[in-house]
Amino acid sequence: MIISIIKYGMGNVASVKKALDKLGFPSVITDNPDEIRQSDFILLPGVGSFAVGMENLHLSGLVELLTDEVCQRKKPFLGICLGMQLLADYGHEPHKIKGLGWIRGEVVKMQLPDHLRIPHLGWNNVQVVGLDNHFFSEFSGKDYYFIHSYHLKAKDSEDVVLTADYGIPIVAAVRKNNIFATQFHPEKSQNAGLALLNKVIKLNAQM
């Protein structure tokens, strides 16, 4: 099994690979269509703005490829941070721009109570939501590392599997069939994060 870590100029790939290496999952950092198609699992990381992220995906010709691989061919997929936000219909950073549209919803700037600082930066605990999501129960209550100023407002609540609280409810992770994505950084969340990566990849590798 080989995981393709999508390279699209939005940082973060080295850390993700390091985590996968530690867990023993072979991976390749790539933007090459053949390598992506031949891989068994697609991982989309990313930090930075929604607009630049989408622009880079378009420039690399990856939008159609990824949509085909993930939505049509149902290849297992994990998105991290910006890699989760880009799945939305629209983003607003810095202006309204179309996303991949795999998960219904929009990414907007967080409107927080006055006393809370922005970005949402640091370790926060997640809660499992949805009746069906016993797969994620072992992650409930654990702390993961968040760093973002924009957040996903999901249209379909069934897509949301983990939430966090930062004055307002934050979507921490979404799941839809073969798509799984986290707002937080599991590759930066030490043992808790590595355990989650391990479980998600192992589960999806069987699909």
Partner 1 sequence: MLKCRVIPILTFNGFALIKTKQFATNARMVGNAVQAARVFNARNVDELVFLDVYASDQNRKINLNVVRSIINECYMPVGIGGGISSIEDIHNLLAIGADKVILKNVMIKNPNFLNKAANIFGNQCITLSIDAHKVDGEYYLYNRLGKTILLRDFIQHISKYNFGEIILNSVNHDGMMEGFDLDLIKMFEKNIKVPIVVVGGAGNPEHFKQLFSETSVEAAGAASIFYFTQYTPQDIKISSSNSGKPMRIVNQSYPQVN
Residue 82's H or E segment, with its range, is: helix 82-85
Torsion, Cα of 133, 180, 52, 11 (10° steps) = 110
User: Whose Cβ is closer to partner 1: residue 116's or residue 205's?
Assistant: 116
Catalytic annotation on 71?
no
Q: Which of 62, 48, 60 is nearest to 10 (CA)?
A: 48
User: Which of 123/135 has CB closer to partner 1?
Assistant: 123
Within 10 angstroms of residue 24's Cβ, the number of other Cβ atoms is 7
Write the CA distances from 101 to 9, 35, 77, 105, 189, integer angstroms. 21, 24, 14, 8, 27
Complex with partner 1: residue 38 or 149, whichever CB lies closer: 149
Minimum distance, C-beta of residue 114 to partner 1, in the bound complex (Å): 10
> Could you confirm whether 115 is annotated as catalytic?
no
Active site residue 185: yes
- With contacts defined by CB under 8 A, name the span among 32-40, 41-49, 72-80, 98-106 that binds partner 1: 41-49
To which residue do tokens 């993961």 refer?
144
Pattern 99-128, partner 1, x by CB under 8 A: ----------------x-xxxxxxxxx---
Chain residues 130-189 in contact with partner 1, contact rule CB under 8 A = 143, 145, 147-149, 165-166, 185, 187-189
Q: Determine the Cα–Cα distance for residues 171 and 103; give it in Å rounded to an integer.
A: 12
Shortest distance, position 110 Cβ to partner 1, whole Å: 12
Q: Given 69, 81, 106, 148, which residue is catalytic?
A: 81
Coil, helix or strand for 15?
A: helix
| Two tokens, residue 43 | 């991982």
8 binds partner 1 (CB under 8 A): no
The residue type found at 148 is H
Using the structure block, give the residue that is written with the tokens 């049509």: 72
In the complex, minimum distance from the CB of residue 173 to partner 1, in angstroms, rounded to a whole number: 17
Please list the active-site residues.
81, 185, 187
Site residues (vs partner 1, CB under 8 A): 11-12, 14-15, 18-19, 22, 47-49, 52, 82, 115, 117-125, 143, 145, 147-149, 165-166, 185, 187-194
